[in-house]
Amino acid sequence: MAKRSAESRVRLSPLGEVYSDALLIEAFCKGRTLSAEAAILICASLYRRAPDRKAMVEELARKRGISAVEMLDQILTGVASSMSLEEYRELRAQSDTGS
């Protein structure tokens, strides 16, 4: 799972030639450094995906039987963990029997 560290920098895997060129062109045309342009593009993409991210958190919370707020808190505090298929089956069986 992704967790925050004291270091705020994000390291990216190589972009590939086409995307690396696209980033270079974007940065040059806007008079920005590569890292500044990359950060702006990532922020813009995350902003556009906010509704999708909200739906994903809601689905994860539903599977666990908790609120979306609780799920978000678990993710942001680093205590959330992936749920295995077996854990999900056990949780469903418990809720189906009412216990």
pLDDT in tens, 6-57: 567 788 899 999 999 999 999 999 999 999 999 999 999 999 999 999 999 9
Sort 19 into a burial class: Cβ within 10 Å, 0-12 / 13-18 / 19+: exposed
- Give this prediction's pTM: 0.76
Sign of CA dihedral 45, 38, 75, 85: positive
Q: What is the pLDDT of residue 18?
A: 97
CA angle 97, 60, 78 (to 5 degrees): 115
> Which residue reads 């270079």 in tokens?
24
- Closest residue by Cα to residue 83 from 52, 54, 62: 62
